[in-house]
Structure 1
Amino acid sequence: MPHVREHTLDGTHGTLAVHEWPHPAPRRLALLVHGYGEHAGRYAELARVLTGHGTAVYAPDHAGHGRSAGERVLVEDFEDVVTDVHAVAELARAAHPGLPLVMVGHSMGGLIAARYAQRYGDELSALVLSGPVIGTWELPGRLLALDEIPDLPISPAALSRDPSVGAAYAADPLVWHGPMKRPTLEAFARTLETIARGGDVGRLPLLWLHGDDDRLVPLPGSRTGVERLSGGRPTERIYPGARHEVFNETCKEDVFAELLGFLDRVLPR
């Protein structure tokens, strides 16, 4: 595994922990945007693949996640999270001025990355969305209709067909294993509407990766959002039988190859 550097930044709601997987002479930057309840440290293998392909990689733990400050999994406004991610992008660009920046957002991170592209798309050279919470996602409305949010944590088996992925997730002390919180669900619902109204990302190259057996963020709901965001021009790759975390799936080598091929096409040497 590549060496990891740790940074701290002042975020909108306290201290942000930022991971950096450096490269001695990078030709591009990647900013990894993790999903709900997890943390950037779970993306070490993806970072290894990217650094091995000439990329310096940065990834924050969002507020209330991982080693960052804040009440666990409480997100009252995703606009603040986007602002935090932008501060990480500025850290990366200050260290490596002039290099193209690619954003890779998974699940909730796909929601954040999509909104980031609407706000700061002219600063990005490519956008990659993996199992993104975008378009039509029924879970927030279903839970918000209840008087009490049930204590139903994410099933580790829903992440990948590789049982070791679920076992590591279940044992990870930095992963949140409790119920979702009402303000966070409200923020999800509000931001889905904001993105739907926010327009497309123009000519920004967009790669969409999704498993067709994703039961956490079902494929059909994401499709409507991705097509709207991309202006109907995404590069898409749907993996038969894959579950929610395609970067941790049994077909992950194909996923990595698709990602690197996309970057080489849209960001030639």
Structure 2
Amino acid sequence: MTATAQPSGPRLAVTPGNPVPEGVRLGYFTTSDKVRLRYALWPKSKAPLRGTVCLVQGRTEYIEKYFETVADFQARGFAVATFDWRGQGGSDRLIGNRHLGHVDRFDDYWTDLRCFHADILLPDCPPPFYLVGHSMGGLASLYAAARDRMMFDRMFLSAPMVGLYNREGTLGGPAAFAEILTFLGLGRLPMSRREDRQPEEAGFEGNPLTSDEGRYRRMVHTLRADQSLYIGSPTFSWIGTAFRAMIDAEKDRFAAQLRIPMLILAAARDTIVSTPTIEQLGLRLRTGHHVVIPSARHELFMETDVVRGQVLAAFDAFITEQSP
């Protein structure tokens, strides 16, 4: 079933196994370059008020996927603010095929986050502000930290996309090829991959995202409830600009620009992003460190209770216990 917050406003896809946390406020905001993005706000559910968690998602993700995690943050005394990146979730799609992952420039994600911070977080949410970012959202968050160290008090990143599994040091060629195709006007074509097919229940065995079958099925049922949320293959434009962003993030000068206190979590069994590259970044941080979570696959917040317990314990030690 689908829950509608207001007749003319954005909707949330809600299923029996994935209830929306209480107190949600939904809306749209428009970025400085005229892209309409869907957002959601939640109040804290328990005292004391500790500030606001700004939750930013990975590629292909959407607000509904994080209902359980939102409730976890609420129960710790945090308000929660989140939005769908341009080109995915309930936000504006940028090309005709709405199931392709596309962006013109990786900097466009900086525009999304900067506008969300200015237009929604600052006026509508209680400070201090803590950013929690996953995968591609983690990489976009790192670029935001390099540009404005005052936006957030602390950052907590889950398997940030700073490199790809088994592709360490080899992204330059594919990035250049994708950039050439984009220059030739072919940037909106997809790079079709088997792993980008819409997930089905039968695909749980051996999936790279989570070892928790219940949470995997929850994701499948949410996408069935609202097919418009599904994002599959990336376009060559997305590949070119995202690969170039990862290449730049590996450089020493990039790590030197990161001055916000941060904790980066990596998944020991990640086969999507490069755990060794995350570790190298963690070792170069001046105001942060990293931790590798044993037995975890890529989506740490969607993992088993044992893994999620470790993730939330790390969050508590780094953010909850350090908040006012």
Which of the five TM-score ranges fits, normalised by the shorter chain? Answer: 0.7 to 0.9
Match of 2:58 in 1: 35
Paired residue for 2:312, among 251, 256, 259?
256
The amino acid of 1:151's aligned partner reads R
RMSD of Structure 2 on Structure 1 (CA): 2.5
Q: How does 1:52-91 map to 2 (within 5 A)?
A: 52-71=75-94, 72=98, 73-90=101-118, 91=120
Q: Tell me how far apart the structure 2 counterparts of residues 62 and 181 of structure 1 sit (CA, whole Å).
A: 16
Distance 1:188 1:13, change over 3 A: farther
Q: How many residues align structurally?
A: 265
Contact 2:163 2:274 in 1 (8 A): no
Match of 1:160 in 2: 210
Q: Tell me how far apart the structure 2 counterparts of residues 7 and 252 of structure 1 sit (CA, whole Å).
A: 29
- Structure 2 length normalisation: TM-score? 0.74
C-alpha distance after superposition, 1:45-90 (max 9, x if no partner): 1111111111111111000100000234211112121121122122
Contact 2:84 2:91 in 1 (8 A): yes
Paired residue for 1:103, among 97, 115, 131?
131
Match of 2:186 in 1: none
Q: Tell me how far apart the structure 2 counterparts of residues 76 and 89 of structure 1 sit (CA, whole Å).
A: 21
Matched, 1:14 2:35: yes
Q: Tell me how far apart the structure 1 counterparts of residues 60 and 102 of structure 2 sit (CA, whole Å).
A: 10
Q: Tell me how far apart the structure 2 counterparts of residues 177 and 203 of structure 1 sit (CA, whole Å).
A: 33
SS at match of 1:122: coil
Q: Tell me how far apart the structure 1 counterparts of residues 124 and 237 of structure 2 sit (CA, whole Å).
A: 35
Structure 1 position 174, deviation (Å): 4.5
Unaligned runs of 5+ in 1: none
Q: Determine which structure has more spread, i.e. the larger CA radius of gyration.
A: 2
Distance 1:54 1:125, change over 3 A: same
Contact 2:89 2:229 in 1 (8 A): yes
Matched, 1:242 2:296: yes
Contact 2:283 2:289 in 1 (8 A): no
Match of 1:93 in 2: 122
Distance 1:46 1:140, change over 3 A: farther
Structure 1 position 141, deviation (Å): 5.3
Distance 1:75 1:31, change over 3 A: same
Distance 1:217 1:112, change over 3 A: same
